[in-house]
Amino acid sequence: MLVSVPLQRSPYNVHVGPGLLDQAGSLAAGVLTPGKCAVISDSHVAPIYSDRVARSLRSSGFAVTTLVSAAGENSKSMEEAASLCGQMIAGGLDRSSAVFALGGGVVGDLAGFVAAIYHRGLPCVQIPTTIVAQVDSSVGGKTGVNATGGKNLIGAFHQPRLVIADTGTLSTLPAREFNEGFAEVIKHAAIRDFDMLDAPDDLPALIARNVAIKAAIVAEDEFETKGVRALLNFGHTIGHGIENAAGYGRYLHGEAISLGLVAACRLSVEKAGLDPAARDRIFSALARHRLPVSLPPDIATEAILSAMRKDKKFHGGSVRFVLLKRPGEAFVSGDVTEADIARQIEALRG
């Protein structure tokens, strides 16, 4: 399946389906001039898939250097980005080279950021291997690393030249990592296509539908200046705060977003008149994928709020909070206060 991301200045395609890793070289050669490249992966994904990708790239004329970071959110750092850049310098990569991001959301964000800053920008091909990355983070050009004060605070917009989403890679995901990806699927359903909550078990078709939703929103508001792309942050304001306050690694990204979705749905009922039945359908979908819906007592509310105050979604001390009016219709509200958010964080403990 092929989904287009119709950006005005830099359109690209997303290929979705099984077996695409073996076509990585020929697909990449269709948009890039083969030459030196870095395949950036992590210690979980590289042993399984990096040789296969490198073999395909070499068969199409690419000279491959494989770089491996430690798996996990802690690798999304300026230190790791600098280390990868140093390794690329040592490997002789120059302004004519390219970067391939092979892995989940952490690898995609990190490698995309390295591609954005190395020699002031190299072309990047995203090869996502998790549901989170395939349905969300590999598309749209947001790259970055975390800072001590919050998630993704250091980054750049750097659109990929191509996305290769091989759904066969999802078969090797542990159950927890498989399930966490559905938090982003449920988010897309909530803001644009509520029927997706009851989607059939055709995983490639489901992923392609999610990519199409993300692509349409990104095409309308590539740099998040019109308020449309901000809708993709539904559940993320509180979710990112929880992820940071808990310490990166305690919750997978989708698990933290699940908690944020619960709070955002409750606020949508309270502030925007969302039908409680719609809220409950979202809650049921989260539970069906074994995603968390309650917060343990040891993660302090003030710690979550402190992390949120440093979030990109805060402007001049006020928060842009995404709410649902009705199924499939989201908007950015300026009426949600910090006190409202604190109350909903406390409610998560119930």
Catalytic residues: 120, 142, 184, 214, 224, 229, 233, 236, 240, 253
DSSP line for 47-83: HHHHHHHHHHHHHTT-EEEEEEEPSSGGGSSHHHHHH
Residues with Cβ within 8 Å of residue 135, at least 6 apart in sequence: 181, 184, 185, 188, 207, 210, 211, 214
Task: State which amino acid sits at residue 163.
Answer: V
DSSP strand E in the chain: where? Answer: 2-5, 12-17, 36-42, 63-69, 98-103, 124-128, 142-147, 150-157, 162-166, 314-315, 318-319, 321-326, 329-333
Contacts of 223 (CB under 8 A, 6+ apart): 157, 229
> Cα–Cα distance between 74 and 139 in angstroms, integer?
22
- Is residue 243 within 8 A of residue 256, CB to CB? The reply is yes
Query: Tokens 């940071």, residue?
Result: 244
SS3 40: strand
Residues 239-274: b if buried by 16+ CB within 10 A, e if exposed: bbbbbbbbebeebbbbbbbbbbbbbbbbbbbebbeb
Q: Using CA atoms, how far apart are residues 27 and 124, in angstroms rounded to an integer?
A: 13
Given CA atoms 250, 278, 225, 333 in this order, what sign does their dihedral have?
Answer: negative
Instruction: Annotate 150-168 with DSSP letters as a single string.
Output: EEEEEEEE---SEEEEEGG
Q: Inter-axis angle of helices 301-309 and 338-348, to 10 degrees?
A: 140
